[in-house]
Structure 1
Amino acid sequence: MSRRSARVLALDVPIALFVGVLSLGAAHARGPWSQAGSGPPWAPGGPEPGGPPPWAPGAGPEFAALPPLAYVCVAVVAACLAVRRFRPRTAFACAMIATAVFYALDQQGGMLRIGPALLAYTMAAQLPLRQWTPWTGLAVPLFLADRADRPYIGLFEPGAAGSLAIQLALLLVPAALGVIVRSRRESTRRERDDEVRRSVYEERLRIAREVHDVVGHSLSVINMQAGVALHVLGKRPEQAEPALQAIRRTSKDALEELRGTLAVFRIGGEDERGADTPDEPSGSAASGGGAPGPAREPVPGLDRIDELAAGIDPAGDRVRVRAEGERTALPAAVEHAAFRIVQEALTNAVRHGGGAATVTIGYHPEELTVEITDSGHARPGRAYEEGSGIAGMRERARAVGGRLQAGPRADGGFRVRAELPAGER
């Protein structure tokens, strides 16, 4: 038995026992409300008009024995209540039949009707409307069994229609509550599923941006350094070694970053497999060896800007980095966004022949400014098309609550400026 089944039975079995004991007590106690019917005057089969009121002298309950079949009917209803969430329709049908047999034995005790009412609620709360509404037709045999000892089954009596309406209400009102509960549950589940899908989509976009930035920047640097190495290889071979070292270092760093980024998919797959086996430790391997999952490298931040510039220009002639203000502690997401913006801007400068580039990091009390300028071929007034690189930088700035501007400078070249919040947003 699963843990969920045990929890369900631990809640439903006491309810079933309570209803069973209450029904037997009401059936044994033959008082003024149970001599001519199964409840108060307004209930189906209640005391006849003109009878003694319940508070009249000598109108106390009288206890009488029940036939064995009546005990069996009460036991069946109690058993159906105990398993109501496992087989709701079967439990409802069996309980309705047992209740009809109970009243066909000319037994009283309206408390037994609590069982079908609870089962109607459970059925409506767990099943779609079309799957449980036909089962409510079992209320008709119960109505007929309750009036089986009357001429023409009491159909021509003045209160027959009202009695049938009340019996249907005793089933349909709990069923309506079940429909409301099911609707709210379904709405909550849909909202949760939409949130999960939206989170997955946003995570895929984030990973796509990471891969684009890492691969695009690394390939641009490798292409530039390879061009330098080919240019000096025949004339000055000793100057080709720094370019080849830069290619080797850039490709190594790119592979490490890609491994850390793509490890998200492997970790996510292990989490999904582990969700089916909650009893196992979350860090255990599928083979049972207990090997920990892949370690995630810390995301790059502003402390790697100098390393980024050195990878593009080892000599330090084409890329300069300078800081303004006193450096303060910043959120990791803000630092990572600033690093990726600088990386993409320098990649564009290298790719489009932007000439010398300057990176300015400004630390201010309420915001961090990142400005990248180059002396390339861009001119003011000249039309240019924003590619995925600029769009990605703008999305990164917006994701942390900042803004980004990009365009040609007045004196030539290109300028990218990002203003990012210095605190969490």
Structure 2
Amino acid sequence: MRSFLERVRAPWRSGAARRLALDVPLGLLVLAFSAVFLRAARTPGPPSPDKQGGPPWEGPPEWGDGPPWAGADPLPPEPLAFACIWAVALAVAVRRFYPRAAFAAATLAAAVFAAEVGGSGPILAGMVVTAYTMAARTPLRSWAPWTAAIVPLLLVGGVGRPYLGLLEADTYAVAVPYTTLLLAALAVGVTVRGRRQNALQERREELRRSAYEERLRIAREVHDLVGHSLSVINMQAGVALHVLDKRPDRVRDSLDAIRSTSKDALEELRGTLAVFRQGDGGGPGLDPGDDRAPLPGLDRLGELAARMESAGQRVSVHTEGSPVVPPAAVDHAAYRIVQEALTNALRHAPGAEARVRIGYERTEVVVEIENDGAAVAEHAEGSGIAGMRERARAVGGNLHAGPRPQGGFAVRARLPLGIPRSGR
């Protein structure tokens, strides 16, 4: 019993007042016009010539102030007709809460009204409105089968006549307009519902795509950060093992480098996950008013080069042009591209010199990383290069990576500056 009451009360909890504010006046409007139509239908008209008090050839009688029926009271209305009007008005008022029940009640009441009065009038509008609402708010399979039973109801007026009135034109004069309007309302409702469903599906797909892209974004951040830090730690650990017996005094330096690298990596990883968890809506980096440390950018290339040199990788950084502060997303993407390229150089060309060039042009910042490693005969692109290319593409830039003809490897990215902030 409680579950039934919960289902009944559920539609009234969200937006009920707003819906009633729109639908109740519409139901009252149908009620008023239908009542006027009923009164007009029950008011007697002028009598035929043979009932005006004499034979037709004698001419009409003298009326004086008006015809004798002008002051006649209308015929008493049938209570059943008024009950049908109220039923349709109520169905219109609650049509968005109980669309199928409202349509069934409005259609049955309209059919009975037409059979009782001899015409439909404005009450037909209530049936059409409930039909549209039902088709627009409920699935086709939930109402199409039993809605087919509505057609026989349109012939209620033929009950009691020979062959149910199927051989009389008056029957079709009522049934054909009813059926046409019903089918039109149902077709419009189905079309509207289809568009709503398509829009909802597109929205869901967009949300899924955004969630997927966000996961990729986090994966790239963690990959670049953890991969770089682990590479440095691995190199420092190898150096410590190598000099453990020969130069014990250098072991402390390697352990200090490992501790410093892991500490920085943990702090940066914590800040990265905090940014993604809270969401800044503007890509990597934080809003200007955020009190947390921003994600690293090109201003921290010196620290990055120092960590790489402590791991045995020689790095030189050169800047060309007038330095400006790129947008946060571009600044962070450039830093991660340099970090990933240096990490790859440390893995595949240990000991070789790596050169980093940052060139500031009018509308772009050019990031180049080259190393003097051995010549590469075949180049297979891995996840690191793919991640760098995705970072460049995400901010509207492009990236090319491949072996150098004279040996070694080169990465070149062009990233748009957009509207850069003031210089450093």
TM-score tier, shorter chain, comes to 0.7 to 0.9
The SS at the match of 1:300 is coil
1:204 paired residue number: 215
Q: Secondary structure at the match of 1:30?
A: helix
Residues 1:123 and 1:93: Cα distance change in structure 2 (over 3 Å): same
Q: Provide the residue aligned with 2:192 in structure 1.
A: 181
1:372 aligns with 2:372: no
The superposition leaves residues 199-227 of structure 1 with CA deviations (integer Å, 9 ceiling, x where unpaired) of: 11111111111111111111001111122
TM-score normalised over the length of structure 2: 0.80
Work out whether 1:402 is the aligned partner of 2:378.
no
Q: Secondary structure at the match of 2:261?
A: helix
What is the SS of the residue equivalent to 1:313? helix
Q: Residues 167 and 230 of structure 1: is their aligned pair in 2 closer, same or farther, counting only changes over 3 Å? A: same
Q: Which runs of 5+ in 1 are unaligned?
A: 36-56, 269-293
RMSD value over aligned CA atoms?
3.0
Number of the residue aligned with 2:107? 96
Q: CA deviation at 1:264?
A: 6.2
Deviates more, 1:107-116 or 1:385-394: 107-116
Structure-to-structure mapping, 1:280-359, within 5 angstroms: 297-314=293-310, 318-354=314-350, 355-359=352-356
CA distance in 2, matches of 1:153, 1:62: 33
CA distance in 1, matches of 2:151, 2:238: 90
Identify unmatched segments of 5+ residues in structure 2.
Answer: 1-11, 46-65, 280-289
Structure 1 position 369, deviation (Å): 0.8
Which residue in 2 is equivalent to 1:43?
none
Contact 1:136-1:171 within 8 A present in 2 as well: no
CA distance in 1, matches of 2:265, 2:74: 87
Between structure 1 and structure 2, the one with the greater Rg is 2
Whether the 8 Å CA contact 1:215–1:254 is kept in 2: the answer is yes
- What CA distance in whole angstroms lies between the structure 2 residues aligned with 1:78 and 1:171? 17
Matched-pair contact (CA < 8 Å) for 2:355–2:369: yes
- Give the direction of change, closer, same or farther, for the CA distance of 1:297–1:177 in structure 2 (3 Å limit): farther
CA distance in 2, matches of 1:424, 1:150: 83
Partner in structure 2 of residue 278 of structure 1: none
> C-alpha separation between the residues in 2 aligned to 1:210 and 1:317?
22
Determine which of 414, 417, 422 is the counterpart of 1:422. 417
Residue equivalent to 2:56: none
Report 1:25-36 matches (<5 A).
Answer: 25-30=36-41
- Aligned equivalent of 1:145, options 156, 179, 183: 156
* 8 A Cα contact 1:221 1:247, kept in partner: yes
Q: Does 1:232 align with 2:251?
A: no
Quick one: distance in 1 between partners of 2:33 and 2:278?
A: 54
**C-alpha deviation, 1:149, in angstroms:** 6.3
Q: Deviations over 1:217-241 (max 9, x none)?
A: 1100111112222333333333333
C-alpha spacing 1:311/1:411, structure 2 compared with 1 (3 Å):
same
Instruction: Give the secondary structure class of the aligned counterpart of 1:362.
Output: strand
Are residues 1:118 and 2:118 paired?
Answer: no
1: CA distance, partners of 2:389 / 2:304? 20
Paired residues in the alignment total 376
- Specify whether residues 178 and 296 from structure 1 end up closer, same or farther in structure 2 by C-alpha distance, changes over 3 A only: farther
Deviation digits for residues 342-381 of structure 1, max 9, x if unmatched? 00001011111342211111111121111111122234xx
User: Using the alignment, how far apart are the partners of 1:238 and 1:62 within structure 2?
Assistant: 120
Structure 1 residues 297 and 171: CA distance shift in structure 2, 3 A = farther
CA contact (8 A) 2:30 2:126 kept: yes
- Displacement of 1:65: 4.3
Overall identity of the aligned pairs, in %: 56
1:66 aligns with 2:77: yes
Decide whether the 8 Å contact of 2:305 with 2:315 is kept in 1: yes
> Match of 2:155, SS?
helix
1:392 corresponds to which of 378, 387, 390: 387
Q: Measure the CA separation in 1 of the matches of 2:394 and 2:302.
A: 24
Q: Distance in 2 between matches of 1:260 and 1:194?
A: 29
